[in-house]
Amino acid sequence: MQRPSWVIEQTLDHSKFNCCGNEKPFPFKCNDCGHAMVLCCECDTLYQGLPDTDQRTVPDWNEWTCSACNAKLPDTFMSLPDYRITFDEWSKLGLDSLISMPPFSDLQRMLNDSAQRLRTYLERGMRSTANRYAFHFDDLASSMQSAIAGAEDARHQGQQFADDKKLADAVRQCDTISDPDLRTYAIIGIVDVLRGDTKNGT
Ligand SMILES: [Zn+2]
Ligand SMILES: [Zn+2]
């Protein structure tokens, strides 16, 4: 079965998470002890005693800790590969009831739609908007990458397009890729370079 390489927001059963009405549940594991948790990115509610979704807390600002081992979570844990949790790990912890797996084609459509928006931002030179927007679907894109043949190469290709070129020109180069999935990963590659630039403050 084609599926993402790790548990992502889009594979959770959203009806199980009720905190703020605008739930954006981000699944992850503690890098130290493997304990699985879900953080609502909208209201900062931490579901810490899964599968019991009534066990929850809103941690203090800058005080993200694992509820099982007390390890401190780094501020950037949501983008660190060590905090991803695979479906096997998730399953072994008895959490399958929290999964609602959409067809892979639905996830692809979601990703391609997001890439289209991203393409528009890039073409207009809206760097920070593109950057912020990309942050929210980076997990989706990265988790699906190894299930889509050629995606990794397309992403590298996009990164090359973005080097030494104006954004709009790099975007137009992506347009020459006819496969919609691969075109999506090329656009993501451009954003990779953009985010690198942003980190360097340029
Ligand atoms: Zn919430
Ligand atoms: Zn832990």
Tens-digit pLDDT profile for the chain (202 aa)?
789 999 999 999 999 999 999 999 999 999 999 999 999 999 999 999 999 999 999 987 767 899 999 999 998 899 899 999 999 999 999 999 999 999 999 999 999 999 999 999 999 999 899 988 888 788 999 999 999 999 999 999 999 999 867 888 999 999 999 999 999 999 999 999 988 854 443 3
Domain match, 109 and 46 both: no
End of a domain among 58, 77, 98? 98
Which ligand gives the minimal distance to the CA of 19?
1
Domain match, 89 and 113 both: no
Task: List the Cα angle 186/112/95 in 5-degree steps.
Answer: 110
Å from CA of 67 to ligand 2 middle: 7
Domain match, 77 and 145 both: no
Å from CA of 31 to ligand 2 middle: 7
Domain match, 174 and 108 both: yes
Q: Domain range for residue 137? A: 104-199
Å from CA of 17 to ligand 1 middle: 8
Domain match, 90 and 146 both: no
With beta carbons less than 8 A apart as the criterion, state whether 28 and 77 touch.
yes
Burial readout 25-36 (b: 16 or more C-beta within 10 A, e: otherwise):
bbbbbbbeeebb
End of a domain among 98, 129, 161? 98
Cis peptide before 51 (omega within 30 of 0): yes
Residue 55 lies in a domain: yes
Residue 3 lies in a domain: no
Domain match, 40 and 121 both: no
Q: What is the pLDDT of residue 50?
A: 97
Å from CA of 38 to ligand 1 middle: 10
Q: What is the pLDDT of residue 165?
A: 75
Give the chain's domain count: 2
Q: CB neighbours of 198 closer than 8 A, spacing ≥ 6?
A: 127, 128, 131
Phi–psi pair at 44, nearest 5 degrees: 70, 15
End of a domain among 35, 66, 98? 98
Please tell me the distance from the alpha carbon of residue 122 to that of residue 131, in angstroms, as a whole number. 9
The neighbourhood of ligand 2, an ion, using CB within 5 A, equals 30, 32-33, 35, 66, 68-69, 71
Which ligand gives the minimal distance to the CA of 73?
2
Which ligand gives the minimal distance to the CA of 40?
1
With beta carbons less than 8 A apart as the criterion, state whether 28 and 37 touch.
yes
Å from CA of 46 to ligand 2 middle: 14
Which ligand gives the minimal distance to the CA of 21?
1
Domain match, 108 and 195 both: yes
Domain match, 110 and 195 both: yes
Q: What is the pLDDT of residue 7?
A: 98
Which ligand gives the minimal distance to the CA of 34?
2
Domain match, 15 and 47 both: yes
